[in-house]
Amino acid sequence: MKISFPEDFLRSYGEQSNKSDSFRSHAANTQYTFSLESHPNDSIGYIIGPKDPCEKITIGDLTIQLNSKLKRIAEAIQDSSFILDLKEGWGENGKPIDNDIFVASIMLLHGYATKIFQEGAILPTPEINPVRDGSIDMVWRSEKGYFATNIAKKNDSLLGTFFCYGKGKPSKEGQIDIDAVEKSMAILMIETLL
């Protein structure tokens, strides 16, 4: 039997197998599905990943994995699933939270928690809270500082904003890209909270 690898795997590492450190770094949090060439429609799910086990979280159609060392964050994500059940008028005049706002918030948390973990640190566990206007706040607190994000829908588009301050440092606020993990934002989170 011959195993076929996904195209992105082959492009990155096909004939450059001497880059084992680069491969380990890339594969640390990447999941690939391999298929047997004789039965291309029967795939075998095989995770190339960290030596530590992962926490798998499934909420509705969303399934993510976090390194088991980020278990508290995984639990906070799981505990936040009640947000999707909120009805019109919750908390007296709250709006229901759209699924896309919830997913964007969780993916933002997943992305930064994973990136910061890859840099050798663990992000504090945030509070994940619905806001009456139909948005979601995530708030991190530590002895060193405070960091908050808000994901909202504005004119049928999702918008992410942040606000932070650290001891002895001026506050900062602005937009946060909800489609990508930015190195500068990860550094700001580390400097503010850790």
Locate tokens 């506050």: which residue? 171
Question: To 10 degrees, the CA torsion angle through 83, 194, 120, 148?
Answer: 30
Q: Taking residues 15-29, report their average pLDDT.
A: 38
Whether pLDDT at 2 is above 60 = no
Report pTM: 0.73
Q: In whole angstroms, what is the distance from residue 194 CA to residue 176 CA? A: 19
Question: What value does the mean pLDDT of the chain take?
Answer: 80
The amino acid occupying position 75 is E
Locate tokens 């994000």: which residue? 149
Whether pLDDT at 27 is above 70 = no
Whether pLDDT at 21 is above 60 = no
Joined tokens for residue 68: 């088991």
- Residue 188's SS3 state is helix
Does residue 29 or residue 53 have the better pLDDT? 53
Work out the percent of the chain whose per-residue pLDDT is above 70: 73
Whether pLDDT at 51 is above 70 = no
pLDDT for the residue 187: 95
Q: Taking residues 46-56, report their average pLDDT.
A: 60
How do residues 136-167 score in pLDDT, each as one tens digit?
999 999 999 999 999 999 998 999 999 999 99
- Residue 57's SS3 state is strand
Q: How distant is the alpha carbon of residue 121 from its chain centre?
A: 15
Domain boundaries, the chain: 3-48, 68-193
Q: Taking residues 163-173, report their average pLDDT.
A: 95
How do residues 86-111 score in pLDDT, each as one tens digit?
999 999 899 999 999 999 999 999 99
Q: Give the residue from 152, 145, 48, 71 showing the smallest Cα distance to 108.
A: 152
Q: Give the residue from 17, 25, 27, 20 showing the smallest Cα distance to 49.
A: 27
pLDDT for the residue 55: 85
How do residues 57-68 score in pLDDT, each as one tens digit?
999 888 999 999
